[in-house]
Amino acid sequence: MASKLDFVRFPAPDGVNGWWESLPPAAPANSVTGEHRFDYVIVGGGITGLCAARRLAELAPDASIALVEADRIGRSTAGRNSGFFVDLPHDISSESYSRSVEADKADVRLQRHGIDYVRSTVRQHGIDCDWRDDGKYHASVNKKGHAALAHFAQGLARIGEACEWLDEAAIARVTGTGFYKSALFTPGCSTVQPAALMRGLAATQPANVTVFELSAVKGMETRGQSRLLSFANGRIEAQRVVLCTNAYAATFGGHPNGLLPVYTFASMSRVMNDDEIARLGGAQSWALIPADPMGTTVRRLATNRICVRNHFAFRPNLAVSESDLAKAKHLHQRSFDRRFPMLKDVELQYTWGGALCLSANNGALFGQREDGVFEAVGCNGLGLSRGSASGKLIAEYALGQSNPLIDQLLAQPHPRSLPIRPIADVAVSAAIWMKEFSAGAEL
């Protein structure tokens, strides 16, 4: 017997997503109005929901499938990240991204599965999203960072993954800045324009998928063998529901204080002019993550913009304030100025935040929540590759398939519950603050 589910938090604007703003205007949204009936409803049009809907449609071409998204697809979190499809271990709660050998190998297997699925979709449909298989630089700014990179390199060697060291001069030739002291190049990371990818994935869904945007599910109830989902202007009755709402699932209950909505923030510069491009030098496009997971991620885009990401804030109510955004912009400007002193006049045009879904033990939710209701939630900060994989695999699981990767996801720990609020709030915020403080120069 399924219970009643209230969707109490809905996506808020959370700043202005530069990736979305730099795309051509979107076609008008198709919203839920009136009464509908589908075999499956996927709730959440992020990368997880987009992959779940596609895979279901591929495997069950006669099924009718609805994908419902509260915002525009590409404007919410999956379209507002830094666009790294990371294949290698990337535990942002550790000090050097890696875990144990077995956990690292399992992560790589899963993440590559997700990346391969999306890459093949992008190629098959010619999705215009600046997909690049150019790898990433993992850079340090001092001895402490270099030691973290060395630790990460050892972890890669243990699992048989290749990487290449760059010294100060070599990484400066790539980035144009002398800010970094050393870097590891790892070839398997892909990068994208995330808003363009999400929009493209929505536009190329198989014919048996109907995409609804600006359609927030307000509640879900059981009616006989069906689920009834209510919206502001209509309802959908479905045989089965797949929840892909990531951080927003933190308010569903059932996992008290286990799913932690932690925001991170990004800013994008305006387009540089020819003189500024010449002053910067370096390669036309590169993607760099910091040696300390709490440091600053930077991308130089082929569109001649620079995108920086840093700063985390625990926001259990799933909304950020103007002062959160102002603080993030201030931190981004400082990070930008330290790296690019030759670009003093290049202002940050857009600043935004987005909710990650973390947990204290790297746990996630995958499987059947209750009769007819499935969930794939909890990316732990690596939603592009992990969400692609878990979205694809939850569709296969919902159709009764089994394979080793499904078993791997079913076996992962559930998010560990924390003490009740406000104790949990203070503990999580303090842990983030200490980690950011320790990242120091990498910010």
Ligand X SMILES: Cc1cc2nc3c(=O)[nH]c(=O)nc-3n(C[C@H](O)[C@H](O)[C@H](O)COP(=O)(O)OP(=O)(O)OC[C@H]3O[C@@H](n4cnc5c(N)ncnc54)[C@H](O)[C@@H]3O)c2cc1C
Q: Is 430 exposed, middle or buried (0-12, 13-18, 19+ CB in 10 A)?
A: exposed
Closest contact distance (angstroms) between CB of 279 and ligand X is: 27
Closest CA to 134 of 268, 20, 283: 283
Closest contact distance (angstroms) between CB of 77 and ligand X is: 4
Report the interface residues with ligand X, using CB under 6 A: 7, 10-11, 43-49, 68-71, 76-78, 80-84, 86, 216-217, 244-248, 264-266, 309, 354, 356, 379, 381-385, 387
- Judged by beta carbon, residue 161 or residue 375, the one nearer ligand X is 375
Residue nearest to ligand X (CB): 383
- Judged by beta carbon, residue 17 or residue 276, the one nearer ligand X is 17
The amino acid at 336:
F
Q: How far apart are CA 399 and CA 408, in angstroms?
A: 17
Closest contact distance (angstroms) between CB of 96 and ligand X is: 18
Residues with Cβ within 8 Å of residue 327, at least 6 apart in sequence: 311
- Judged by beta carbon, residue 209 or residue 266, the one nearer ligand X is 266
Q: How far apart are CA 334 and CA 441, in angstroms?
A: 11
Closest contact distance (angstroms) between CB of 69 and ligand X is: 5
- Judged by beta carbon, residue 118 or residue 148, the one nearer ligand X is 118
- Judged by beta carbon, residue 183 or residue 216, the one nearer ligand X is 216
Closest contact distance (angstroms) between CB of 391 and ligand X is: 7
Closest contact distance (angstroms) between CB of 379 and ligand X is: 4
Supply 358's token pair: 């973390």
- Judged by beta carbon, residue 84 or residue 179, the one nearer ligand X is 84
- Judged by beta carbon, residue 90 or residue 172, the one nearer ligand X is 90
Judge contact between 89 and 99, C-beta under 8 A: yes
Sheet of 182-186, strands arranged across: 164-166, 182-186, 136-140, 286-290, 297-300, 306-314, 260-269, 348-358
Q: How far apart are CA 386 and CA 392, in angstroms?
A: 10
Q: Is 301 exposed, middle or buried (0-12, 13-18, 19+ CB in 10 A)?
A: buried
- Judged by beta carbon, residue 280 or residue 320, the one nearer ligand X is 320
Using the Cα atoms of residue 320, residue 200, residue 36 and residue 30 in order, give the sign of their dihedral: positive
Closest contact distance (angstroms) between CB of 98 and ligand X is: 16
Closest contact distance (angstroms) between CB of 269 and ligand X is: 15
Judge contact between 84 and 191, C-beta under 8 A: yes
3-class SS of residue 1: coil
3-class SS of residue 215: coil
